[in-house]
Amino acid sequence: MKLNRKEIYRVFSDEDPTALIGLDARVEDGHLTWFDSNRDRGHRLSGAREEPGALIFETETGFTYRFVPLTKELYDRDVRARVELSPEFESTDAIRRFYFTEFLGDAPEETEASAQDRERS
């Protein structure tokens, strides 16, 4: 698994309580960068590893960020109450379409999380 710029992620961090979602996430030249729907974020990396269903990044400042593909279930549980207007979505695809179109001006491609969501319905 590697970061996919066409995926939307739920970003977890014990050290950074403002981490929530990640769009256009990538690693380039030892830097982790992503857009969180409000601003660009960037950190110089000291390490990275993969765990089942997640990518873990350790920064030189000692913060750890865990990137997990965002699903409707994760959105409803962790994200919805923390975003402006708390929009409700009917599917993972609807969440992706909204965030990619609204914040990146780009239509999303299908990813593993959206394919799994479609199979469940």
| pLDDT tens profile 86-110 | 889 999 999 999 998 888 877 666 5
Record: fold of 1-121: PH-domain like (2.30.29)
Domain boundaries, the chain: 1-121
- What pLDDT, in 10s, does the model give residues 20-59? 999 999 999 999 999 998 899 999 999 999 999 999 999 9
Task: Please give the residue that has the higher pLDDT: either 105 or 65.
Answer: 65
pLDDT confidence of residue 27: 96
Rounded to two decimals, the pTM is 0.84
pLDDT confidence of residue 84: 83
Amino acid at 19: A
Total residue length of the chain? 121
Whether the CA torsion 108, 114, 115, 121 is positive or negative: it is negative
